[in-house]
Amino acid sequence: MSEFNLDDCPRIRRGFRLQWEPVQNCDVLLYPEGMIQLNESAAHILKLVDGQRSIAQIIAQLQEQFPDVQGLDEDVLTFMGVAYAQFWLESC
């Protein structure tokens, strides 16, 4: 999915699960065939993906948490584009 709307409410795709992995010392996205290690930024974004918040709401909440980060909205949109393209996310 290369196009999405700020009003879209993404959710983690069925069969995927976000969790902290102590052995990896990071949050990971688990799926039947494997695991994706996430950096801190990706984990912060995915923790807000619940199928109820819109992309705009996710961006707003992250901007409240990290007010000094310039270009945060663009970073979130870039990540969302990758996450949809990799089929980690789906729209509700």
Instruction: Quote the CA–CA distance of 25 and 19 in Å, as a whole number.
Output: 11
Q: What is the pLDDT of residues 10-37, one digit of tens each?
A: 999 999 999 999 999 999 999 999 999 9
| Tokens coding 88 | 């980690």
Mean pLDDT of the chain: 95
Asked whether the predicted pLDDT for residue 1 surpasses 90, the reply is no
User: What's the CA gap between 11 and 50, in Å, rounded?
Assistant: 5
What local confidence, expressed as pLDDT, does residue 69 receive? 95
Residue ranges of domains in the chain: 10-91
**What's the whole-number mean pLDDT along residues 65-76?**
96
**pLDDT at residue 2 in the model:** 47
pTM of structure: 0.92
Q: What percent of the chain has pLDDT over 70?
A: 97
In the CATH scheme, what is the code of domain 10-91?
1.10.10.1150
Which amino acid does the sequence have at 58? I
